[in-house]
Structure 1
Amino acid sequence: MTADLAAALRDEARRANQRRLLVLAGAHEACRSAAREALAGAGIDDAATTLVATREGAALGCERVAPKNADALLGTTRECVVLDCHDECRPNALGRAVGAVDGGGLFVLLTPPLDDWPDRRDGFDATLAVTPFDADDVAGNFRSRLVETLRTHRGIAIVDVDTGTVERDGRTDPSPQSPGSAPSVPVDSEFPRAAYEACLTADQADCLDAFERLRTPGNALVVEADRGRGKSSAAGLAAGAFAAAGQRVVVTAPGFESAGAVFERARSLLGSIDALAGSDRDDRPHRVDAVSGGQVRFESPSVAVESAASADLVVVDEAAALPVDLLEGFLDTPAVAFVTTVHGYEGAGRGFSVRFRGRLDDSTLDVAESRLDEPIRYAAGDPVEVWAFRALCLDARPPVDPLVTDATPGTVTYERLDPRGLLADEHRLREAFGLLVAAHYRTEPNDLARLLDAPNVSVHVLLQEGHVVSVALLAREGGLPADRRRAVYEGSRIKGHLLPDVLTSQLRDEGAGVTVGQRVLRIATHDAARSRGLGSCLLDSVRERIETDWLGVGYGATPELVDFWRRNGFSTVYLATTRNERSGEHSVLMLDPLTDDGEALRDRHAQWFVERVGGTLSDSLRELDPDIVRAVLAATPTTADHDCSPYEWRVVASAAHGPGLAKTHPHVFRRVALAHLTDPGSTALSAREERLLVMRVLQSRPTSVIAAELGYDSQRECLRGLGDAYESLIERYGDEAARAERARYVD
């Protein structure tokens, strides 16, 4: 039965050049045995199959990938992927597994009995159950929704292996597919002819042609497509063509696995035209060398930003999965291509287009666009793609602009969304999740399950005439028992409690986990209603309705974000000394106390932050953007101590007004600088003077570098500017000794 059904599905999939989905539901071992029968019946070889499962399966002889490592499937194509969901149903793994199945192939899903599945708890549920909750507290809403989509979408067969019943045969009797448009070689092409002959669709050839303009410095290209349209392959062919011409290409992406297709196609092209250097080796997948001396090499985003100016071309693959401020670092590149997925867990195309495109268009680069719509791995209308988009909300969108354009704090209403209510209201779920997808580069299918099922997470929205215009996800943290606090202090980690974990383990405060707080995981406002105070309105509404000691937040620091959270009552308590490998930013933690206990926690950590930040700025944070330094220091509720002895004030005043030298007593000048930068009432200096203060006094950067960056005509003028700044600071903070010293040099 199972073998015959699988054979029929595979035959239909091949005729339509689409994919089909086979659900085998029931006892674990019975599902594994049925999967083996299905593969045999469909004529799919073990070598063309991947099992995604937590355990090896005796019934399947193919390769296995653990669900948490399913990103290894990115950039690969398989005739069949079997996803075993008995031990855990990980949404990210589901998205990555289905995306690897080629046209004419089968996606086989092994599940517990479908009616029982939502009520069972598995390994992924355990990741959602953070202290004080356990797996029994996790809801099954995501799997309830998943089962409903499996039972209603086309192209999905369901077999109850325990009873031998075929619930659905999954056959669609598709109409014959018309062939796609054939690619052609442009008449004036300078790329190798073999590059165009390697294209599979006209869309892909047109995209490759668009890459040719990047041979001229000062150009940028934006490539957008849904998954499976060949955008990364087109980028790889272009990169290979550049390397063949002797040029240096830097490829970056959130991870190397995301850029695998780029390197595969670059290497293949160079090999086909006998341009692959003999030194190119399989054990060096991150680099491809050409006999011309050209090269294609992968670098992590934070490293690629630093080396971009020395490359002839930078290809940013899955660009929407990188933060806007990191993407801006590539705008000084001679030529750059931003390749991005429109819908998908890799990133949000709309967030990329709305947040970054304006900055790209305002740059000095001449920008062109290319969009690929024609599927390559499978034919248009593939029912499995339609199902995956719906099941994982990959195509979820915020409300259309006209519905929320008039939203203001005075017109919106606040609501805390119940997960069961969201499960029953597909429209509102897609609006809320779509808003998160559009605004946050890291939103992924796991977050959909977290929103629907995690017991520590709550969803808060502002509605404009019933439509979601602003959304926030909050997670409960803290309230840890003494033994857990002690364990964290002594080196253990505790998942799901970011702020207590960092404040305890890194900042050595064993009492940080006593209070209970709510951390803002995500907050987003519709782009058609931004800059009207709706985010602040939502935070105010949350404060009024929750009982907790504090609100907290952790994020990659930018001046604009720090200023937003400061304006909303949040204070800096921690600034990471290393960059996040994925975002290239330094993380900052902030607290907004709502009770006396929360205020005590905030105050002691703010004080400790001010006391230690001077040392880190002259060491590990020496290259940090001075505007970020200014912002995080301005967001402290504690003003640094500026008390100096009479002797110390004479040193400062003589350096500002007379022959004294700041470098003989740098600690005194740092103390005064920190006093100003943490003083909310001080307006003594301009923004330029504050940047000078940060870079020279706190970060000890070379004067020549500072003068060039801040626009001083010479190093002498730069140092004179520093003296002028300290004259103003002496006027505000100096004592009688400082004024007496000043009087010796000033009439």
Structure 2
Amino acid sequence: MTLPSRRCLILSDPQAEHWQQIEAWFLQHDEQRRLWLAAEDDVVARSQRRAQDYLGQELDLLVFDGSELLRADSLAAIFGCLCAGGVLLLILPAQPKQSRWQQRLQNIARQCALDSDAIQWWQSSQKLPEPQCHPSSPAESVTLDQQQAITAIEKVLTGHRRRPLVLTADRGRGKSAALGMAAAQLMQQGRKVIGLTAPSKASVASVFKHALQALPDAQFQADTLYWQDRQLQFIPPDRLLAEQPVLDLLLVDEAAAIPMPMLTEMLNQYSRIVFSSTVHGYEGSGRGFATRFRQCLDQHAPGWHSHSLHTPIRWAANDQLEAFSFRALLLDAELAELDMKTLPDRSEWHYVEISADDLLANEAYCQQISTLLVQAHYRTRPSDLQLLLDQPDLRLFVLQADEQILACLWLVAEGPLNTELADAVYAGERRLKGELLPQTLLAHAGLPDAGQYHYQRIVRIAVHPNLQGRGLGTSLLQQVETELDTEMLGTSFALSEPLLRFWLANGYQPVRPGLTVDHVSGRQALVMLKAVSTSGQQLLQQAQTRLAQQWPYLLSQSLRQLPVAEVVLLSGQLPVTDVLVDPLQQQEVEAFALRQRGLAFSQFSLQRWLWSRLNTPEFAKLSQQQQAILVRLLLQQWSQAELVEALALPGKNTLLQQCRQAVQLLL
């Protein structure tokens, strides 16, 4: 069956009578298959912020009102909900001069309208054509692509262990439906517990929908689908790794939006696992996912295999609305491989600052920078280009060879804050949008003068994958330092040992860890600063002293789960505080290590003593397990029962014996 085309009617500056017509048409359509998104909720419309709530829903009429506000991520997310024969009414302001991003969008929309009958541009001087929807539900039969995907998923369970499947597709190809149908078939075959994880519960609505269709007598409660004595359970990524439940199969949907360290941990923990990801979609980083994850799979599961779905089920092949969305939001921009033989000599590479006007005038720059950011960061989204074009106080530096961009660095200016506002932030009475660095130092680090300073925050840094490991990121940072007139450089990122080592190597110092774990990355954020002025150096010293004073408490509370290697690395960067061990405490440590003094009676002395030994060559020579025992037990205040379970030790006596041996080696 040939599916009818989706169509887009672009309205520029509609007048009052046009709005009345649009609302009348909208209200005539099936309430379940229509949606109006606008800047804020009202009687008819829903806020664009809620676009992701409708993922998986099938629509015939979509009104996207961008006349006052247009969120790029919301537009990208909702494109995939419109079915074959459906109509999108995209409403844009008449004069987009205040927004370069909207100028670019309108330029592309006009070009697409000239090239395709499915895209129509309307001016307020013209008669408003009534949107004629020709709804056509997707075929109920399973496509060949989907059946092959279901077979591949089943083989993960019936074949050899450690043979994960990577399932990829563009939106609208039935990937999530295939996951749901496969889960239902496996439950019918007797599989008891299938786990499902993703960046958000909303993104797996379609998986549950198709599983329920295949199991009509199943029950769905909270996050779990129950059928007889079997279940399909949604588990957020952070909880999955913390609890590590026993599963017959783990399905990881929208894997591209989950950090690589978490995917690697899932891969190591579960021997039967399917990773699924959208390649060109609002999730943004599916393109870089395939490249980055392939290396991880080759190392940890060399027997992995893949399957791609190509046939659209929601709309026709070669759909022009999909082509428009890809072009306008750069969803399908691919990173070109570098030909190292033809690349100019490094002496001919040069650093350039690209303004927002330069970016608007050069579509090739937009594509190259977007794809570099996608490769570098799992949370890159269409709104990043919107920020690069429209956000004030933003600067973008690139390393360039001829017309090829090899690396880029994106900064935003923050501070100073006026005295009254800074005081309100410090007192917890105000929370600012943006201004991450001064706000963190005021509200979290407790530095009342931090609002007075000029900051430049590094939002992203990205290097072409073919050139990574050659010092280009460091070189770009050094170049940018010479270009900026500021007191402090800073960055914030999901803490991991490789990233921490990179920033430390470039002179940045830790000043504040996040107190909560991000549910997607499974990690705490870390703010790091580098002073580039005398006044900035004074603030950095205050921030580090403050962190050093709080560090023992933080490790025993909100940072109890921080990996041991990161505890040791961060501890070594903090100024030494009061960790002198007096003779009586030293005697107590020796009595614990060399004799049989109890841990409960020696723990305070052991903790103080360990601080003095943490960054010595002797500590570095300890085995990973010995380091873990000392750090977890003495600094992070794990209970003996917790540590015995985590290290899979026979019991508490073994733990204490190994703890005594580790202390002996440091005496």
TM superposition score normalised by structure 2: 0.91
The separation in 1 between residues aligned to 2:492 and 2:603, in whole angstroms, is: 32
The separation in 2 between residues aligned to 1:519 and 1:687, in whole angstroms, is: 38
Q: Which residue of 1 aligns with 2:602?
A: 665
SS of 1:52 mapped into structure 2 = strand
Match for residue 368 of structure 1 among 293, 302, 305: 305
Tell whether 2:240 aligns with 1:304: yes
Contact 1:474 1:521 in 2 (8 A): yes
Q: Which residue of 2 aligns with 1:89?
A: 70
Q: Which residue of 2 aligns with 1:611?
A: 549
Amino acid at match of 2:531: P
SS of 1:624 mapped into structure 2 = coil
With over 3 angstroms needed to count, the CA separation of the structure-2 counterparts of 1:477 and 1:51, relative to structure 1, is same
The separation in 2 between residues aligned to 1:241 and 1:213, in whole angstroms, is: 12
The separation in 2 between residues aligned to 1:710 and 1:160, in whole angstroms, is: 68
Tell whether 2:536 aligns with 1:598: yes
Q: Which residue of 2 aligns with 1:54?
A: 39
Q: Which residue of 1 aligns with 2:520?
A: 582
Residue pairs, 1:423-572, within 5 angstroms: 423-491=360-428, 492-572=430-510
Q: For the pair shown, which has the larger CA radius of gyration, 1 or 2?
A: 1
Contact 1:550 1:595 in 2 (8 A): yes
The separation in 1 between residues aligned to 2:347 and 2:633, in whole angstroms, is: 46
Tell whether 2:184 aligns with 1:265: no
Q: Which residue of 2 aligns with 1:159?
A: 122
With over 3 angstroms needed to count, the CA separation of the structure-2 counterparts of 1:678 and 1:553, relative to structure 1, is farther
Match for residue 4 of structure 2 among 14, 17, 22: 17
Q: Which residue of 1 aligns with 2:144?
A: 202
Amino acid at match of 1:325: P
Tell whether 2:19 aligns with 1:32: yes
Match for residue 118 of structure 1 among 97, 105, 117: 97
Structure 2, unmatched stretches of 5+, are: 133-137
Contact 2:193 2:248 in 1 (8 A): yes
Deviation at 1:682, TM superposition (A): 7.7
SS of 1:579 mapped into structure 2 = coil
Deviation at 1:685, TM superposition (A): 4.0
The separation in 2 between residues aligned to 1:295 and 1:516, in whole angstroms, is: 54
Deviation at 1:73, TM superposition (A): 2.1
Contact 1:399 1:468 in 2 (8 A): no
Amino acid at match of 1:612: Q
With over 3 angstroms needed to count, the CA separation of the structure-2 counterparts of 1:57 and 1:564, relative to structure 1, is closer
Amino acid at match of 2:148: D
Structure 1, unmatched stretches of 5+, are: 1-13, 120-139, 172-179, 181-196, 731-747
Residue pairs, 1:669-688, within 5 angstroms: 669-677=606-614, 685-686=621-622, 688=624
Tell whether 2:165 aligns with 1:221: yes
Structure 1 residues 381-419: Cα deviation after superposition (integer angstroms, max 9, x where no partner): 111111111111111233323269968975632111111
Contact 2:613 2:666 in 1 (8 A): yes
SS of 2:57 mapped into structure 1 = coil
With over 3 angstroms needed to count, the CA separation of the structure-2 counterparts of 1:367 and 1:327, relative to structure 1, is same
Amino acid at match of 1:264: K
Structure 1 residues 270-298: Cα deviation after superposition (integer angstroms, max 9, x where no partner): 11xxxx24xx15xx36321112x111121
Tell whether 2:225 aligns with 1:288: yes
The separation in 2 between residues aligned to 1:309 and 1:298, in whole angstroms, is: 12
Contact 2:409 2:458 in 1 (8 A): yes
Deviation at 1:518, TM superposition (A): 1.2
Tell whether 2:38 aligns with 1:100: no
Deviation at 1:210, TM superposition (A): 0.7
Match for residue 184 of structure 2 among 240, 243, 246: 240
The separation in 1 between residues aligned to 2:371 and 2:102, in whole angstroms, is: 19
Amino acid at match of 2:515: T
SS of 2:195 mapped into structure 1 = strand
Q: Which moved more, 1:371-380 or 1:348-357?
A: 348-357
The separation in 1 between residues aligned to 2:642 and 2:658, in whole angstroms, is: 15
The separation in 1 between residues aligned to 2:645 and 2:421, in whole angstroms, is: 51
With over 3 angstroms needed to count, the CA separation of the structure-2 counterparts of 1:57 and 1:623, relative to structure 1, is closer
The separation in 2 between residues aligned to 1:57 and 1:729, in whole angstroms, is: 67
Structure 1 residues 590-613: Cα deviation after superposition (integer angstroms, max 9, x where no partner): 111111222122212212222222
Amino acid at match of 1:470: A
Contact 2:39 2:70 in 1 (8 A): no
Contact 1:224 1:371 in 2 (8 A): yes
Structure 1 residues 507-537: Cα deviation after superposition (integer angstroms, max 9, x where no partner): 2222122111111111111111111111111
Deviation at 1:169, TM superposition (A): 12
With over 3 angstroms needed to count, the CA separation of the structure-2 counterparts of 1:596 and 1:94, relative to structure 1, is same
Contact 1:75 1:100 in 2 (8 A): yes
Amino acid at match of 1:214: V
The separation in 1 between residues aligned to 2:578 and 2:570, in whole angstroms, is: 17
Tell whether 2:100 aligns with 1:141: yes
Deviation at 1:338, TM superposition (A): 0.7
Tell whether 2:636 aligns with 1:699: yes
SS of 2:607 mapped into structure 1 = helix
Structure 1 residues 8-49: Cα deviation after superposition (integer angstroms, max 9, x where no partner): xxxxxx976221110121245344234247669xx8545421
With over 3 angstroms needed to count, the CA separation of the structure-2 counterparts of 1:55 and 1:574, relative to structure 1, is closer
Structure 1 residues 339-385: Cα deviation after superposition (integer angstroms, max 9, x where no partner): 10111221412322222232233225842211011111111111111
With over 3 angstroms needed to count, the CA separation of the structure-2 counterparts of 1:56 and 1:418, relative to structure 1, is closer
TM superposition score normalised by structure 1: 0.81
Amino acid at match of 1:541: Q
Structure 1 residues 175-220: Cα deviation after superposition (integer angstroms, max 9, x where no partner): xxxxx9xxxxxxxxxxxxxxxx954421111111111112235442
Deviation at 1:465, TM superposition (A): 3.3
Identical residues among aligned pairs (%)? 29
Q: Which residue of 2 aligns with 1:346?
A: 283
Structure 1 residues 613-672: Cα deviation after superposition (integer angstroms, max 9, x where no partner): 2122223332322122123223x2413433122222222233334454453232332223
Q: Which residue of 2 aligns with 1:744?
A: none
Deviation at 1:703, TM superposition (A): 5.3
Aligned residues: CA RMSD: 2.9
Deviation at 1:702, TM superposition (A): 5.0
Contact 2:547 2:574 in 1 (8 A): no
